[in-house]
Amino acid sequence: MDRENARSIIGDHFVLVYLNTPLDVCESRDAKGLYAKARRGEIPNFTGVTKVYEEPVRPDLTIDTSACSVDEAVEMMMSKLPRKCSPGSAGVPAGV
């Protein structure tokens, strides 16, 4: 619902990117130990542990970050940006 509202407000500039990464990979990358704290009950309503994550129904792009490098993920995202939002265009610094 919130995503659809954002899409209706933002219009053609809205790009929904779903980083569909397995929970065990997210936990292994957790430098702050937040997943462990959530599993011990120290953090309530932690998405993926004690609160259900609602997957997007119609993402514009889905990326499994366990199956690609950061550079590859960035390249995939940049390819989905509308032309007028691309790096080097007005308002978007080059190198982003």
pLDDT tens digits along 33-67: 999 999 999 999 999 999 988 899 889 999 999 99
Domain assignment present for residue 65? The answer is yes
Number of domain units in the chain? 2
pTM of the model: 0.69
| Mean confidence (pLDDT) of the chain | 86
> What are 51's strand-pairing partners?
47
Q: Strand (E) positions, 5-78? A: 17-19, 61-63
pLDDT tops 80 at residue 21: yes
- Judge whether 88 lies within some domain: no
Token representation of residue 40:
């011990």
* In a shared domain, residues 75 and 28: no
Is 37 a domain residue?
Answer: yes
Q: What is the DSSP letter of 8?
A: H
Same domain, residue pair 50 and 63? no
* Residue 32: inside a domain: yes
Q: Side chain identity at 13, as an amino acid letter?
A: H
CA 57 to chain centre: 14
- Whether 28 and 47 map to the same domain: the answer is yes
Range of the domain at 79: 1-20+56-83
- Show the tokens assigned to 62: 């889905």
